[in-house]
A and B are shown apart, each in its own frame.
Chain A
């Protein structure tokens, strides 16, 4: 790419960043996101990883209320809830982001093909897309997880593999519109191959939409993971926030009013979901296809 284009891309990115910062709701989202990322990165400073093991809680009181030693109290087997929540940030973020990457890659590629091709290929893509859109996610995820394993990576892949359909539709619509633009016709008249048109004209036109869409898939993935964890999947000893919540529910923390056990992870899930939603919505506004490309 020529230097002029790079300068423009950088200036464009800077402009988007500035617009994002000036949007108040996006700013809240960014702050929240920064908070959770810090949490994930600094977890080792606050607690050893070993604190998550079953053995760690042996000598500690179970379901103890918050105190000077245990800032958020202990869980039903005596583990430090604060440690669980801090380390949970890593798992939740990891699964959420990996699932999103998978969903975005599949969704974008299929959306691109569906939008650009004509005839039976396009119809086939639409049918596949429809199929995945109506698939009941939870039963499918449970079955796949049981078959393939319960590690966070597998969970992320399973979620990603079922979440791509909504974004793919959006991308297909945008690609359809881009395909008819005057400059695509001009490129054809110049003798361009499909590959040239897709790489040089369609992908740059669709990229902002993909980014905005991806940012909005993350909260869905995180909630999906939380749901699955709550239903029993996931690893108790490297728990995501959803898994911590499941522990709280299973041990009756709600009835026992052990709020330190279920409130922190619950609030964190809400907070992270909110963060990505706010940022994603702002990005969507900034990248509105009606304003872009004209």
Chain B
């Protein structure tokens, strides 16, 4: 990131802790995340289910209060008041995974896209702005779509409507949570192209939450890998996906189909419960470096079992030093 440019988002030691189920231990869904996002960039937040990426994304949008740490948007902390959050929501928007569930089947396409404008009482030229947003998102000509209803459109078109509904407010940040995972394969490319295009053309920052590394390769400038509530590696897409340094990232990449040149490292078991985060490096029980004895050879055995590594030059791993 160039000097002198205020990052759009600064996440500092963010934590989100839920109460444990039935009196069990508390669930640390997000456990100390530091992240900066530059204006206009596309950042992919990758990780498997339960790693906390969706919780972090919702916290960034103000939909989930933080238990620890802080988030700053454009230099200012996120508002807490209702009115403050409301005006923040004009600047930071969300696109969900399931386009069908996130639109009201009783509303016409026009109403769905105009909803944001109406909520924020921006009546001036409502029709024009709706048409512009629809056109911007590839639903041309807009006249053909405004009177239709969601069930008349395909999955890909519905996702475009959702994106248009977010774009009509001209946000500075768009958070897309698994934007194409419920769409047909042949339709993915166009939606991803749309997101990338919207970012480049409008200088809009996009935070994509996904478990699909190929998606990150397709549209992200930078990638942040999350595991059990922490970011374990962050860097440019080329760095992370071609020369990963964290053992978890390496393992993830090795099992992506068609990465035949990498030796497959299938991790045993499932990702552990965020209610029982391992002591020391949270990844060490599944870490190939630890299990193979390399950790011992490198002399970091005690560190792996005792100290939680911090992000240093983009990677949180004792072995990477």
Contact = CB atoms under 8 A, between A and B. Distances in A.
Interface string A262-294: 000000000000000000000000000000011
B61 A204 contact: no
B103 A191 contact: no
A187 to B, nearest CB: 7
Interface in A1-32: 2, 4-5, 8
Interface string A130-156: 000000000000000000000000000
Interface stretch (B1-9, B83-91, B248-256): B83-91
B22 interface: no
Interface in B154-171: 162, 165-166, 169
Contacts of A49: none
A192 B121 CA distance: 11
Given A182-B101, A189-B94, A191-B90, A2 B108 contact: yes
Interface string B171-205: 00000000000000000000000000000000000
Interface in A152-201: 181-183, 185-193, 196, 200-201
A4 B98 contact: no
B213 interface: no
B308 interface: no
A204 B104 CA distance: 10
A190 B90 CA distance: 7
B312 interface: no
A232 interface: no
A5 B108 contact: yes
Nearest to B62: A189
Nearest to A191: B89
Contacts of B98: 182
Given A183-B102, A196-B119, A201-B104, A189 B89 contact: yes
B96 A186 contact: yes
B314 interface: no
Contact of A183 (B82, B87, B103, B119): B103
B27 to A, nearest CB: 20
Interface string B75-116: 000000010011101100110101001111111101100011
A7 to B, nearest CB: 8
B146 interface: yes
Given A8-B149, A183-B101, A188 B110 contact: no
B312 to A, nearest CB: 34
A187 B63 CA distance: 12
A205 interface: yes
A190 B115 contact: yes
A52 B148 CA distance: 57
A189 B165 CA distance: 11
Q: Report, as a range, how many residues of chain A touch the other chain.
A: 20 to 34
A205 B105 CA distance: 10
A193 B85 CA distance: 11
A190 B101 contact: no
Nearest to B151: A294
A191 B85 contact: yes
Contacts, number: 73
Given A8-B149, A191-B90, A196-B119, A182 B102 contact: yes
B111 A4 contact: yes
Given A186-B96, A188-B63, A205 B119 contact: no
Contacts of A4: 108, 110-111, 146-147
Given A189-B93, A189-B94, A191-B89, A183 B111 contact: no
B120 interface: yes
Contacts of B120: 191
B108 A8 contact: yes
A183 B104 contact: yes
A185 B102 contact: yes
Nearest to B175: A189
A75 to B, nearest CB: 53
Given A5-B108, A8-B149, A183-B102, A189 B63 contact: yes
Interface in B129-151: 146-147, 149
A286 to B, nearest CB: 15
Nearest to A294: B105
A191 B111 contact: no
Given A2-B111, A293-B106, A186 B90 contact: no
Contacts of A200: 104, 115
Contacts of B108: 2, 4-5, 8
A188 B261 CA distance: 46
A204 B146 CA distance: 20
Contact of A191 (B86, B102, B107, B165): B86
Contact of A190 (B82, B119, B147): B119
Given A5-B111, A185-B96, A189-B93, A293 B101 contact: no
8 contacts: A5-B108, A8-B106, A182-B101, A189-B93, A189-B94, A193-B86, A200-B115, A205-B106
Interface of A: 2, 4-5, 8, 181-183, 185-193, 196, 200-201, 204-205, 293-294
Given A186-B165, A293-B106, 7 more contacts: A186-B94, A189-B89, A191-B85, A193-B82, A196-B118, A200-B104, A294-B105
4 residue pairs, one from A and one from B, having the closest CB atoms: A182-B101, A191-B89, A182-B102, A4-B108
